[in-house]
Structure 1
Amino acid sequence: MIGVPSRPLKLLPESALLRSSPVDHPDWNYRPLLGTVQRLRFQIVLEILGDRRYDRLLEIGYGSGVFMPELAGRCDEIYGIDPNSRPREVAENLALHGVKADLTRTGAESLPYEDGYFDCVVAVSSLEFVPDIEAACREIRRVLRPGGTLAVVTPGDTPLWDLALRVATRESPSIFADRRQKLQPALRSHFRLAREVRIPRLAWKAVRLYTGLHLRTD
């Protein structure tokens, strides 16, 4: 159950953050109140991944790499793709903090990996920005091994969430276009849903902050 974590998350320290694109806001993880809400996304992923250790893990939309120190402790090899990133600078920054990551600048619709290359793919508030989610789903399924895990966290799609976004960040919900509405149906059509995590857990959809999906290829 998500609540107070048993230990602090292993994130890049605030002093080491490297903003990689206009939609990347790693500093939000360290703001009062907003940071608490932001870090809930990472806790959802960790709950989905459980105690299992993975051979190769891919993070889609790694941005500044803020979550990679935590993910790197759960796999033997970590990779990342982001269409707007600065892969060399982010990789060098991660290396300074003990994380060896293979990063590539590309979109989720065309992944430069062999079939079945990964046993885990993680996407935290990133697939809402992919122009062609159907193509991305096909590619993610292709690079995942049979029985592989896809952990996705997506924000709420409600007027209340949109208002909170404007107040807390001054960002407009228009950055998502209609992709929040399309994302979950697309994912559920390409993968088997193993588990859904809702934050708040018992709240109506109208006040939901995040939904976490544990999806599988079998």
Structure 2
Amino acid sequence: MEPTRCPATDELPPDSIELENRRFYDPLWRHARLYDGDRFNTWALIRPHVEGGSRRLEIGPGLRPRLPVSGTTFVDLSPVAVERLRKEGATVHESGADSIPIKDGSMDLVGAFDVIEHVTDDQAVFDEISRVLRPGGSFFLSVPLHADAWSDFDRIVGHCRRYDPVQLEQQLCDSGFEVLRSAPYGLRHESNRFACFGLWFLRKFPAFSMWCYNNFYFPIVVRKQEPLQVHDGMINDPSIDELVIECRKRDE
């Protein structure tokens, strides 16, 4: 089942979408600080699956991995992020999410946080994640919701789509996953005026905006995180802008 897409990205070829993402994220990561996974509120959800020496993979972490840098294999398209992660001793492949250089069924845990909405063929990526994950393995992802919430922000940061929860659950099912739990995730500004100013500032002063984001805004976001409110199954609520979702690969 196809998710609702945005016309702004439907007209772009896949290589253009990848290039647009690189143009935004390479400068963002170039002067960013690396945060480890235990700094994020997703850690409480993920931690039980990390303990005990699990074989784990994270796709597209940039410099904000939700899985621990130590002991995790990473896949990312950004050479800037790849170099920084390698300097920290991580195992990293510079690769896209639709062709992961990992053996079939070799992972116990896969994470893809704020990633799937950036790829052209999301179903192919779900299939590829299912391929590398063992039966019964865990898959965590986060995605933005609701096509009617599409804004210039989505376009600027390289999103291809926002998701309908019902359609997303069907896509995951088609790739061999069952949704176990989900939780509201991310930030949604109550002030539309603040959000509009942020977009204007980013367009007008992109380099300075990224410096401010990395050095002031993001550290505040990390400090102000609240514990996740986890619910069974897939939440379907029009007031929720983003979800983090825990899935399990069905036994063969």
With normalisation by structure 2, the TM-score equals 0.56
Contact map agreement 1:117 1:145 (CA 8 A) in 2:
yes
Whose strand proportion is higher, 1 or 2?
Answer: 1
Mapping 1:160-171, distance limit 5 Å: 161-162=149-150, 166=152
Report deviation, 1:87: 5.5
Query: For residues 195 and 88 of structure 1, what CA distance do their matches in structure 2 show?
Result: 31
Report deviation, 1:134: 1.6
Query: For residues 192 and 60 of structure 1, what CA distance do their matches in structure 2 show?
Result: 19
Query: For residues 61 and 26 of structure 1, what CA distance do their matches in structure 2 show?
Result: 12
Is residue 72 of structure 1 aligned with residue 69 of structure 2?
Answer: yes
CA change 1:23–1:118 in 2 (3 A) is: farther
1:48 maps to which of 45, 51, 56: 45
SS class of match (2:79):
coil
CA change 1:102–1:197 in 2 (3 A) is: same
Structure of greater relative contact order (alpha carbons < 8 Å, 6+ residues apart): 2
Per the alignment, residue 101 of structure 1 pairs with 90
Is residue 205 of structure 1 aligned with residue 198 of structure 2?
Answer: no
Report deviation, 1:155: 1.7
Contact map agreement 1:87 1:105 (CA 8 A) in 2:
no
RMSD: 3.5
Contact map agreement 2:143 2:242 (CA 8 A) in 1:
yes
Query: For residues 84 and 207 of structure 1, what CA distance do their matches in structure 2 show?
Result: 33
Contact map agreement 1:109 1:139 (CA 8 A) in 2:
yes
Report deviation, 1:118: 1.0
Contact map agreement 2:144 2:162 (CA 8 A) in 1:
no
SS class of match (1:175):
coil
Per the alignment, residue 146 of structure 1 pairs with 135
Report deviation, 1:176: 2.3
Q: What code does the residue aligned with 2:90 have?
A: A
Query: For residues 145 and 122 of structure 2, what CA distance do their matches in structure 1 show?
Result: 17
2:119 maps to which of 108, 112, 130: 130
Contact map agreement 1:87 1:104 (CA 8 A) in 2:
no
Per the alignment, residue 22 of structure 2 pairs with 21
CA change 1:172–1:130 in 2 (3 A) is: closer
Report deviation, 1:148: 0.6
Aligned length: 172
Per the alignment, residue 78 of structure 2 pairs with 84
Query: For residues 138 and 204 of structure 1, what CA distance do their matches in structure 2 show?
Result: 23
The structure whose Rg is larger is: 2
SS class of match (2:158):
helix
Query: For residues 183 and 101 of structure 1, what CA distance do their matches in structure 2 show?
Result: 31
Unaligned runs of 5+ in 2: 1-20, 187-228
Q: What code does the residue aligned with 1:195 have?
A: R
Contact map agreement 1:42 1:67 (CA 8 A) in 2:
no
Q: What code does the residue aligned with 2:144 have?
A: P
Report deviation, 1:131: 1.3
CA change 1:172–1:101 in 2 (3 A) is: same
Query: For residues 156 and 61 of structure 2, what CA distance do their matches in structure 1 show?
Result: 21
Higher mean C-alpha deviation, range 176-185 or range 130-139: 176-185
Per the alignment, residue 221 of structure 2 pairs with none
Per the alignment, residue 58 of structure 2 pairs with 59
